[in-house]
Amino acid sequence: MTHSTRPPEQGETILSLKGVSKKFGAVSALTDIELDVRAGEVVALVGDNGAGKSTLVKVLAGVHQPTSGTVEFMGREVTLDNPATALNLGIATVFQDLALCENLDVVANLFLGHELNPLRLNEVQMEVRAWTLLRELAARIPSVREPVASLSGGQRQTVAIARSLLLDPKIIMLDEPTAALGVAQTAEVLNLIERVRDRGLGVIIISHNMEDVRAVADRIVVLRLGRNSGIFTPDASNHELVAAITGATENAVSRRTQRKAVEVEGPRV
């Protein structure tokens, strides 16, 4: 950690985005995004495919650089010009494509870029830490000394999540963390998100699963076509959320619900 190491206070704003835009050539992936994340808070980012959720996460992870706008971290304006900067500040990310090295084993992947004892790797200590961390996540990894290529999708996702926790981050971003997970594992990840929040970390979670989102989120931020499209609390109705996501009260989802309702009730006399 190169910057301030003091832990954020509960409720303090850790991360604040003002007018962040990102253009890929002629395409505006993000336009004037405003987002605040406070310590001890879970913010869910929802939106349709192509709404800019993953791009936003990549901007915050230092993978992409914003075209305009400012990012404030712990009250200070920061430039996230590469992933190492973001990691050193305390922004950890679980990417949608997980970003694991398939030719390395689980331990090597967990500690990649942050190995213990750089000139004489402390394999034993790293392996113990890996097992403990994976056990905390109730992970079912058969062996941490097998290459990641031999793991299933869910196991890889667990490894990626475990890696994000390793560096004691201040904020964790999870891009579709439960997409490849089983029932029990999903519950474990949701528990984990709550534990992480209770420790005073900020959490940003992207998910298409509204059930998961409602279960853990304190705020739901909706993106649509790269713009802010509303902020909701978890008790907002499904109808409101879908309307914000699709941009219309009259949409494919509402029409389908209506049709189903009619079918169940039977034609009115």
Partner 1 sequence: MSEAKITPLDRADERVRHDDTIKGAVLAFVDRVRSGDLGMLPVAVGLVVISAVFTSLNPLFLAPNNLVNLLFDCATVGVISLGIVCVLMLGEIDLSVGSMSGLASALIGMFWVNMGLPLPLAILIALAAGALIGAIYASLFNWIGMPSFISTLAGLLALLGFQLYLLGTSGSINLPYASSMVKFGQLLIMPAWFSHTVALLPGIVLLWSGLGVARQRKTVGLTAQPLSMLLVKVVALTAALEFAVWYLNLGRGVPWMFGLFVLLVVIMNYALTRTKWGRSMFAVGGNREAARRSGINVKRIYLSAFMLCSTLAALGGMLSASRLASSSQQAGTGDVNLNAIAAAVIGGTSLFGGRGSAYSALLGIIVIQAISNGLTLLNLSSSLRYMITGGVLAVAVIVDSLARRSRAAHGRG
Write down the residue that tokens 């008790």 correspond to: 235
Nearer to partner 1, 102 or 198 (CB): 102
Minimum CB–partner distance for residue 257 and partner 1 (Å): 40
What DSSP string describes 46-92? Answer: EE-TTSSHHHHHHHHTTSS--SEEEEEETTEEE---SHHHHHHHTEE
Minimum CB–partner distance for residue 150 and partner 1 (Å): 4
For CA atoms 175, 192, 4, 118, the dihedral sign is: negative
Nearer to partner 1, 100 or 161 (CB): 100
Minimum CB–partner distance for residue 103 and partner 1 (Å): 4
Nearer to partner 1, 36 or 127 (CB): 127
Nearer to partner 1, 47 or 62 (CB): 62
**Angstrom distance (rounded) from CA 89 to CA 87:** 5
Minimum CB–partner distance for residue 173 and partner 1 (Å): 12
> Taking a C-beta distance cutoff of 8 angstroms, is the pair 190, 205 a contact?
no
Burial (CB count within 10 angstroms: exposed 0-12, middle 13-18, buried 19+), residue 154: middle
Residues that bind partner 1 (CB under 8 A): 61, 63, 82-84, 87-88, 93, 95, 99-104, 108, 112-115, 118-121, 123-125, 127-128, 131-132, 135, 140-145, 147-151
Strands 27-38 and 13-24, sheet pairing: antiparallel
Nearer to partner 1, 9 or 81 (CB): 81
Minimum CB–partner distance for residue 238 and partner 1 (Å): 34
